[in-house]
Amino acid sequence: MRAFYFDNIPGDQRLPHDSGIPVSDELLKSIGVLHWHIPASQQDQINAIAEERHCNNRDIVSVTKEGLGDAYEATLKIFYDEHMHEKEEIRYVLEGSGFFDVREHSSDVWIRCYLTAGDLFILPAGIYHRFTLDENDMIKAMRIFWDEPKWIHVHRDSSTDVNPIRVNYLKALGVN
């Protein structure tokens, strides 16, 4: 995985938008974002991380133009809409690639994380983020869940800033 500050230049969201300013693993950890590169042959490492986080459910999701058909553009729009989840989000990229953008809490700027096959990515509950494919228009990922697989996002607005999950996320970072 490679992380860098988003350049904020208007244009296709699937372009890299690389500002040329890298983001360190330490900074990502400071906002609760964790990642590993795990070859597909090392499923035991993925299983260990899932078990450590008390996750016992998984599914596979493929996001492609062919697979989504007429819903492709609308689905990408939903994924790219800034949101948070009330549960931790865990993804393991099996094939393809894409971008997860996360908000740096202190500055509210976007950090772009480029994920490719073998990357396992964990976002804490309460972090503002968004997702888009890159120009290859394809990703196949394993979603790892606690309960039954489901994807519920909470769109960012004034009510999410006071959402207890968001408040707890900020408290965990030391923000009052």
Rounded to whole angstroms, how far apart are CA atoms 144 and 105?
25
Q: Is residue 176 part of a domain?
A: no
Task: Report the SS3 class of residue 52.
Answer: helix
pTM, rounded to two decimals: 0.94
Task: For residue 105, say whether it is annotated as part of any ligand binding site.
Answer: no
Task: For residue 155, say whether it is annotated as part of any ligand binding site.
Answer: no
Domain that holds residue 53: 2-7+17-169
Q: What is the CATH number of the domain that holds 93?
A: 2.60.120.10
Task: For residue 153, say whether it is annotated as part of any ligand binding site.
Answer: no
Q: State what percent of residues in the chain have pLDDT above 90.
A: 88
Annotate 48-93 with DSSP letters as a single string. HHHHHTT--EEEEEEEEHHHHGGGHHHHHHHHHS-EE-SS-EEEEE
- Look at the chain and report how many structural domains it folds into: 1
- For the chain, give the mean pLDDT: 94
Task: For residue 85, say whether it is annotated as part of any ligand binding site.
Answer: yes
Q: Provide the pLDDT for residue 150.
A: 65
